[in-house]
Structure 1
Amino acid sequence: MHEYSVCFVCTGNICRSPMAEAVFRARIAEAGLDGQVVTSSAGTGGWHAGDPADPRTAALLEETGYELDHVARQFVRDGFAGHDLVVALDEGHARELRALAPTPGDEAKIRLLRGYDPTAAEDDGFGFDVPDPYYGGPEGFEECLRLVEAAVPGLIAEVAATLEQRAGDRGDGGAGDSGGSGAGTAAHGGGRRDNSTGRPLAGEHSTGEHP
């Protein structure tokens, strides 16, 4: 039985969030956590519901060794109940998700993916967004994949710490540094970030590539 569920959310669930889902699933397997963690993706809108991933996303993932079997769907209000974390690909998605969240506890599950990237900063050209590659060429999809791959390890670190904490609470393992899904902070690159916004906490300074 899976103990932890992560859902990635973008606009139409055909480009960015399926890419994040595929990368996260591969890295979770590499970390030996695939028996404990389940991942999915969805869109804030339902325009592409029932469609496969964008062919450019599918081709790039295949080319880079990631597996994807995907049918687009829309994230709905009731969806919060089935997930420990709901990870937005940009700040617009995070705002929509916060407006949709039925309870404060559900709102606390929302994260920005690039909040887990220690090199992400307001002045790196992207802010804390993974830009939508839909209207551009192949280079936009490649950039999207690069940003996703840079952020996923930090997300996995938080998930692993939460699983360790839960095991410790049950008395069948050690305790990690992070609590449940609503903890909202993680340490990356020497500074702690609020992962619901991606920004360093007050008084904290990242030592990543971009100060």
Structure 2
Amino acid sequence: MRVLSWNLLWRNGAGIDDLGRLVETHRPDLVLMQEATLPADALTRQLGGFCVRKAMSGQLYGPAVWSPRRFTTTVEPLPVASKFDLPVPLFRLIDVRLALIVCLDGLQIATVHLDHGQIANRRQLRHLLRAHQQLHAVIGDFNALGTLSLPGFADVGPRCATHRAKGLVPLRLDRCLIRGLRCTNAVSLAYGKSDHRPILMDLEPI
């Protein structure tokens, strides 16, 4: 299964045409999106296939999934961050984030956009794994600094920095964690109109 994951950057970021070019070039079986504002029906009109998008509470954006084949989804609300987390949330919103779990070809894959807080994003991951114990992969924008250690999971995403922001060192925030699968190829693509690189993985059952 070829999986493409991309944080689109909701404000003036990547659009339908940008996604369409990637889909045409790389032919993914599954596209996972973070900060998606594009209506699901607009995506299916442009790309065909099937799409689900869920806006986060009080936000214009949220996670989305597209595939040329039918799939089912489940939404999992994640624990809210604390104001005492690091970095201190003076200039960032604390809100309820959602994981979107996709079932396709017998595999369960979650797309996530975790909190910037380093305690919170790890707690959100643990909650997700407790709530969905059959997950094969967690993919998306983890906002996590340093190593992530989840029992039974391997971090197989591209090893390069995937996020750039003005005044900050580029960071590897976009990850792909898998179990019961093998990754035969993992690459990062050009940023395009987003501040995140798309990441592309070829996954197969062990």
| TM > 0.5 fold call | no
Please identify which structure carries the higher strand content.
2
